[in-house]
Amino acid sequence: MLYPFFITFMLVFFSELGDKTQLLVLSFSTKNKVKNILLGVAIGTFFSHGFAILFGSKVACFSNDIFQFYLKIFTYSSFVLFGLLGFLSQKTFSSSNSICKNGDNSSHKSNLLQKFSALKLNCVFIVALCILVGELGDKTFLASLSLGFEYPNAKFPLILGSVCGMVLSNFIAIFCGRLIGSHLKQGLIEFLSNVTFLIFGLLGFVHMFF
């Protein structure tokens, strides 16, 4: 059960570095206790990624060999696709002033998160709500869905891995944000995230056919 935990942890950890939800968490850290912020991150991740993992696990319970085969193909292909699209969008961003297909959708979601953050409610609840909304449809959310397909009997390790990955990533951002910002460029962080997706996708294909 350590392998599903490790995969989920690595994917979520690297993908979250520099993400829009993490930047929002950093803004909260200037005026709220860190433990409350991280608790909100954990709760939001538990519900958003937990839903994805449980749904994926439910679908994977269909006991049809052909269905299972194509489900694995879809899972590993999605990891490779996430990695390749990450490299493509990174290249597009650097060469064409951030012109991308989902730019309007991303901007809309960012504006929505900013509105949530301005609400006069408990910090833990606001952070959890922002994480819940911000992660829906994100590549880490879709990766959790795919991992639920692949490891239907490892729901707890998968959910634990995603929660730990998000909490640790935001913990590092809060305490070492300036250090990371001055030593690691955004492009390098995105590169590590894309490579992680590619590696796990390719390892899955190797495990299937060899």
Phi and psi at residue 70, in whole multiples of 5°?
A: -70, -25
- Which residue in 130, 128, 127, 137 sits closest to 52, CA to CA? 137
Count CB-CB contacts under 10 A for residue 134: 23
Provide mean pLDDT across the span 37-55: 92
In degrees, rounded to 5, the angle at the alpha carbon of residue 121 between the alpha carbons of residues 117 and 123 is 70
Which one is predicted more confidently, 88 or 178?
88
Q: Which two tokens stand for residue 139?
A: 């590549």
Which one is predicted more confidently, 168 or 150?
168
pLDDT at 85 over 70: yes
Provide mean pLDDT across the span 105-133: 67
* pLDDT for res 175: 77
Model confidence band, residue 54 (pLDDT cutoffs 50, 70, 90): very high
**Residue found by looking up tokens 């979520």 in the block:** 12
The answer, as to whether pTM is greater than 0.85, is no
Which one is predicted more confidently, 49 or 134?
49
